Amino acid sequence: MNRPLVIANAPLSSWLTDGLSARYDLRPASDPGANEAQVLVTTGIHGADAAAMDALPALKLIAVHGVGYDKVDMAHARSRGISVTNTPDVLTDDVADMAVALVLATARRIAESDAYVRAGRWGRDPLPPLGRKVTGARFGILGLGRIGSAIARRLEPFSPHIAYHSRNRVEGSAYAYAETAEALAEQCDFLIVATSGGQGTQHLVDAAVLAALGPEGILINIGRGSTVDEAALVDALVNGRLGGAGLDVFDDEPRVPDSLLALDNVVLQPHQGSATVETRRAMADLVIANVDAFFGGKELPTPV
């Protein structure tokens, strides 16, 4: 019997490729027979626009490897009756760990100091500038969802000053609620972006929010690059109106503005929030579970 066809339109982990290939006829989107596929596997970074969906007339399921589905045209998927699944929860801890790593690395100038030692400058040149104290600092979480909440829990031992902003107040939360992103930035030293991406959060962190964060404030972004006005961010950093930034995500990945590369007070990561062996395995398993459920006629484990 022919194995069901599954199309991939992005590079996948070896666990996902092997797992899918063991069960299905896995082919790239460029394959001539792709248009008969009912299932498309993609990543949070790649996604599927209307044209990608319409190239697959039989498409019934888009299984996203990642929690963010801002690169999937959800309205188009809905209009065509295509289900979309993602991989929530299994990556929450890793992304929250990355946010805390960026808080510490940026505040304590870890990357800059590492480069200083490697370059043989220790003992020859003045030491790097002093960092900023993390213990007792005021933290603002933009987007107290699964990942934002996990970041807040990790920061509790550092400081009692944790506030958040999202469109809705989180029922029962002990953290102070700020009505706007700007109001949150005004009352914190570290603003940590953990919202979902897409149109709803496009440039939510704009020049006004960065001004409210101020010349000693530090911006951390592990959400999506589109949520921060990158030109305003670069301008604030270059002109000393922002203290520093720790960034895992960018507006036009993998392109990073040259002006950011030249700055000592930023720590840059190539979108590595969920990049551990354990989590990438778990994400692959969850994608496969969704595809298996679709072909088995069962309820999808993690629909969007």
Binding residues for ligand NAP, rule: CB under 6 A, are 67-68, 88, 91, 95, 143-148, 166-168, 194-197, 200-201, 204, 222-224, 248-249, 271, 273-274
Of 167 and 255, CB closest to ligand NAP: 167
User: Active site residue: 156, 216, 253, 278, which one?
Assistant: 253
Residues 6+ apart with CB under 8 A from 187: 138, 140, 163, 176, 178
Smallest distance, Å, CB 69 to ligand NAP?
8
Query: Largest alpha-carbon pair distance within the chain?
Result: 71
User: Active site residue: 224, 280, 281, 299, which one?
Assistant: 224
At 40, list the tokens: 């498309």
Smallest distance, Å, CB 146 to ligand NAP?
4
161 classed as catalytic = no
Of 25 and 206, CB closest to ligand NAP: 206
Could you tell me whether strands 83-85 and 25-28 are parallel, antiparallel, or unpaired per DSSP bridges?
unpaired
253 classed as catalytic = yes
Of 4 and 88, CB closest to ligand NAP: 88
Question: What Cα–Cα distance (Å) separates residue 47 from each residue in 43, 68, 81, 206, 223?
Answer: 6, 9, 17, 25, 16
* Residue 127 parent element (H or E): none
Smallest distance, Å, CB 173 to ligand NAP?
11
Of 39 and 90, CB closest to ligand NAP: 90
User: Active site residue: 46, 65, 165, 271, which one?
Assistant: 271
Separation between Cα atoms, residue 225 and residue 198, nearest integer Å: 10
Of 34 and 181, CB closest to ligand NAP: 181
Smallest distance, Å, CB 90 to ligand NAP?
10
Separation between Cα atoms, residue 141 and residue 224, nearest integer Å: 14
Could you tell me whether strands 162-165 and 176-177 are parallel, antiparallel, or unpaired per DSSP bridges?
parallel
271 classed as catalytic = yes
Smallest distance, Å, CB 50 to ligand NAP?
20
Q: State the residue for tokens 């001004």.
A: 211
Q: Taking a C-beta distance cutoff of 8 angstroms, is the pair 253, 43 a contact?
A: no
Q: Which residues are catalytic?
A: 224, 253, 271
